[in-house]
Chains A and B, each alone.
Chain A
Amino acid sequence: MKSLFKVNYDLYIYIPVFILCLLGVLVIYSASGSSAIVDSQINKIFLGFLVMFIINNISPDFIQSFVSRYAYWINVILLLAVILVGTNAMGATRWLNLGFMTIQPSELMKISLPLLISYLIFKNNKPSGFKNILKYGFLVFMPTLLVFVQPDLGTAIIIALSGLIILFNAGISYTFIFSMFAVMSFMFPVLWVLLMDYQKQRILTMFDPEIDKLGSGYHIIQSKIAIGNGGFSGKGFLDGTQTQLGFIPEQHTDFIFSAFSEEYGFLGVLIVFALYLTIILRLYFISKKINNIYQKLVTNSILFIFSFYVFVNMGMISGIVPVVGVPLPFFSYGGTFMLTQMICFGIVCSFYSNLDLNYKKRKYKKALTR
Chain B
Amino acid sequence: MIKKKNNEIHLHQIEKRTNVILGIVFILFSILLINYFKIQIINGTENADKAYNNTVRKVTMEPLRGLIYDRNNNVIADNIIQFDLNIRPENIENYGGLRDIRKEKLIKFLIEIESILKIDMDIENIVKRALSKQSFQKTKIYSSFDSDEVGHLINLVEHKEGIEMGTSIVRHYQYEDLFFHSLGYVGKPNKKELDESEFITRNSMVGKAGIEKYYDEYLHGESGLKDIIINASGRVKSEDIKKMPVSGKDLQVSLDLDLQALIKNKFKDKKGVAVVLDVNTGDIIAYYSAPSVNANKFSKGMSSKDYVNILNNPGSPLLNRITHGLYPPASTIKPFIAVGAIMGDYIDPNEEIFSAATYRVGDQIFKEWQNWGHGDIDMRRSLSRSSNYYYYDLGYQMGVDYMHDLLSVFGFGEKTPILEVDGMKTGINPSNEWKIKTYGERFYKGEEIMISIGSGNISASPIQMANAIKLIANGGKQYELKFNYKKDKRLVKDLNLNEDWLNPVRGGLYDTVNTKDGTGRVIRKKTDVIVAGKTGTAQVFSSKALEEEYEEENIAEKLRNHSLFVGYAPYDAPEIAFVVVGENQGGGSGFAAELSGEIVEKYLGIQKEKGEQH
Contacts and interface: CB of A to CB of B under 8 A. Distances in A.
Nearest to A247: B232
Most buried by A among B13, B14, B41: B14
Given A245-B229, A320-B35, A121 B9 contact: yes
Given A303-B21, A369-B1, A227 B36 contact: yes
Interface in A205-250: 222, 224-232, 241-242, 244-247
Given A304-B21, A320-B35, A228 B43 contact: yes
Contacts of A244: 231
B40 A280 contact: no
Interface stretch (B50-58, B166-174, B243-251, B473-481): B50-58
A227 B29 contact: no
A232 B41 CA distance: 6
A240 B252 CA distance: 53
A79 interface: no
Given A293-B11, A314-B32, A245 B4 contact: no
Contact of A226 (B13, B46, B51): B51
B517 to A, nearest CB: 83
A287 interface: yes
A225 B54 contact: yes
Contacts of B115: none
Nearest to B229: A245
A70 interface: no
B118 interface: no
Given A171-B9, A320-B31, A261 B25 contact: no
A128 interface: yes
A300 interface: yes
Interface stretch (A11-19, A41-49, A57-65, A162-170): A162-170
Contacts of B15: 288
A297 interface: yes
B14 A245 contact: no
Task: Classify the secondary structure of A's interface with B.
Answer: helix
B344 interface: no
Interface in A263-313: 265-266, 269, 273, 276-277, 280, 284, 287-288, 291, 293, 296-297, 300, 303-304, 307-308, 310-311
A242 B14 CA distance: 46
Contacts of A308: 28
B29 A277 contact: yes
A85 B18 CA distance: 40
A222 to B, nearest CB: 8
B1 A171 contact: no
Given A231-B48, A307-B25, A369-B1, A273 B9 contact: no
B163 to A, nearest CB: 27
Contacts of B25: 280, 303-304, 307, 311
B8 interface: yes
B7 A266 contact: no
Given A277-B29, A300-B18, A304-B25, A126 B9 contact: yes
B47 A228 contact: yes
Nearest to A307: B25
Interface in B1-34: 1, 4, 7-9, 11, 13-15, 17-18, 21-22, 24-25, 28-29, 31-33
B275 to A, nearest CB: 56
Interface in A135-160: none
Contacts of B52: 241
Interface residues of B, number: 43
Contacts of B346: none
A320 B33 CA distance: 12
B44 interface: yes
B309 interface: no
B46 A241 contact: no
A125 interface: yes
B90 to A, nearest CB: 16
B51 A269 contact: no
Most buried by A among B15, B24, B51, B230: B51
Given A245-B230, A246-B233, A171 B48 contact: no
A31 to B, nearest CB: 12
Most buried by B among A169, A265, A300: A169
B305 interface: no
Nearest to A221: B50
B191 interface: no
Task: Classify the secondary structure of B's interface with A.
Answer: helix
Contact of A265 (B22, B40, B232): B40
B39 interface: yes
B40 A307 contact: no
A246 B231 CA distance: 6
Nearest to A262: B51
Interface residues of A, number: 55
B40 A232 contact: yes
B166 to A, nearest CB: 26
A228 B48 contact: yes
A225 B51 contact: yes
Given A125-B9, A315-B35, A231 B14 contact: no
A318 interface: yes
Given A226-B51, A320-B35, A284 B40 contact: no
A227 B33 CA distance: 13
B39 A224 contact: yes
Contact of B40 (A125, A171, A230, A293): A230
B231 A245 contact: yes
A165 B9 CA distance: 16
A276 B14 CA distance: 23
Contacts of A128: 7
B237 interface: yes
Given A171-B17, A247-B54, A229 B9 contact: no
Nearest to B17: A169
Contact of B28 (A227, A247, A307): A307
Contacts of B47: 224-225, 227-229
A217 to B, nearest CB: 14
B369 to A, nearest CB: 76
Given A246-B231, A307-B25, A307-B29, A284 B39 contact: no
A169 B40 contact: no
A266 B48 CA distance: 14
B354 interface: no
Contacts of A226: 51
Contacts of B36: 227, 261, 266, 269, 314, 318
B550 interface: no
Interface in B33-83: 33, 35-37, 39-41, 43-48, 50-52, 54-55
A308 B27 CA distance: 11
Given A169-B18, A228-B40, A318 B35 contact: yes
Contact of A300 (B7, B21, B31, B232): B21
A277 B33 CA distance: 12
B371 to A, nearest CB: 83
A159 to B, nearest CB: 17
A228 B28 contact: no
Nearest to B51: A229
A84 B13 CA distance: 43
Interface in B204-261: 229-233, 237
B54 A241 contact: yes
CB-CB nearest 5 A-B residue pairs: A228-B47, A245-B231, A229-B51, A246-B232, A231-B44
28 contacts: A121-B9, A168-B17, A169-B18, A170-B9, A171-B14, A225-B47, A228-B43, A228-B44, A228-B48, A230-B40, A231-B48, A241-B55, A245-B232, A246-B233, A247-B54, A247-B55, A261-B36, A265-B40, A293-B14, A297-B14, A300-B21, A303-B25, A307-B29, A311-B28, A311-B29, A314-B36, A315-B28, A315-B35
Given A228-B43, A229-B44, 20 more contacts: A124-B7, A125-B4, A125-B8, A126-B7, A169-B14, A169-B17, A171-B9, A225-B50, A228-B46, A231-B41, A232-B44, A245-B229, A247-B54, A261-B40, A266-B40, A288-B15, A297-B14, A315-B31, A318-B32, A320-B32
